Amino acid sequence: MKKTLSLILFLWGIMSCTPDSLKPLPSSNDFTGKRVGVEGLGYKRVMIIYCEGYNNLTDDIELNLKQLDEGYLPAINDREAILVYAHDAKSKYDWSTPSEPVIYRIYKHYDEIVRDTIKRFPANELSVCEERVTEVMSFIKKSFPSQSYGLVYNSHASGWIPSDYEESSDNTTGWSISPQWIGAEYEDTYTNDHTLDVEKFAQAIPIHLDYIIFDCCLMGGVETNYALRDKTSYIVAAPTEVISEGFDYYNMTKKLLKSEPIDLKGVCEDFYNKLASSSYVTIALYDCAYMNELANSCKEVFAAHPNAAFNVNSNKVQNYNYSFRYHYDFRDIIANMGASEKELESIDKVLEKLVLYKNATPYFIYTPINPLTYSGLSMYLPNSSWPVLNGFYKETDWNKATGLIR
């Protein structure tokens, strides 16, 4: 699942249907990449907000987008641009009425906030698929040529965990499941959903991104970071689930579009400060340039302790579990596998470069977060009772590179 729903009950009272003022305008006939009165094309920074909201997050996502109005918005002739891909349900629990996904641009024109629709997609086509990811980003690259692109992804996610996995499936042969997923498009009911494998999501991205901010659950895992290491320079994500209230969109645009350099640490701090006093939050910032180095270090440690993760007592490891129970602290797993001080030192040297920021409240729902064992990065803890899940994990890029499960 994505952001954890129904955890903070007061959120239900503040959600509402999409107000007319938030509806994007009909498609304009203008070439949207052109800055009126400014010679030449080309933007300094383009921020893409990718919202898969044809599910029970429709109202939450609309609230996030409404918060943009209170923060920095570029003007039409500025060298920054905000593009939103949105596929919303007609209402929070209407997952049968078709709706058109759209790309629209948000900008300020004097005192008016404009949401100008620049592309529509057929309502009867599947939105959560690699072809759509490629189409959306390729269109943006062509229409808004820029020196820099960044992505904020807002939807459901499970990290690497299969979309339909149940422990009972380990007693069933021949059942096909997806090894990791992101995004969710419901069809009539929430149990009938379409999702996208994280590795396929990575392959579908046709441009290099300066950052990906995951406003969705469980994406702060070593497996997902490794899958995306060649597609983005930095990732902002949570190793736990994410409360449906989400990130701080009021301040996000200024930090991503106007700060020099792009202030991803500030985005993390704003998210933490938004929820820390009244709710639960974990967050981290990762430098993907060090993912291969981390994999190489882990490969040596895992080779010295083959399949030792199966012997780790899960009750003694920092966990990040609420709806799922497969996400544990990356470093704490390795420490409990019997890694030597020298081996842990090699891991820590890479983590110091890779994890640029991390923070967490003392609890996430009912789970205590120990600051001494919180590395900011999660990993799967194998269990001999889950042979099907273990089999799919063996096929992840991360496991192929490191040999956690042999």
Q: What is the pLDDT of residues 224-272, one digit of tens each?
A: 999 999 999 999 999 999 999 999 999 999 999 999 999 999 999 999 9
User: Phi and psi at residue 264, in whole multiples of 5°?
Assistant: -75, -35
* Start and end residues for every CATH 3.40.50.11970 domain found in the chain: 10-290
Of 87-101, 145-159, 343-357, the one with minimum mean pLDDT is: 87-101
pLDDT at 304: 98
Domain 10-290: which CATH class?
alpha beta
Q: What is the pLDDT of residues 201-230, one digit of tens each?
A: 999 999 999 999 999 999 999 999 999 999
pLDDT-derived band at 174 (thresholds 50, 70, 90) equals: very low
State the pTM of this model: 0.89
> Residue 129 has what pLDDT?
87
Average pLDDT, the chain: 86
pLDDT for position 290: 99
Q: Considering only residues 297 and 93, tell me which one the structure prediction assigns the higher pLDDT.
A: 297
**Dihedrals phi, psi of 233, to nearest 5 degrees:** -80, -40
Q: Which residue has the higher pLDDT, 182 or 255?
A: 255
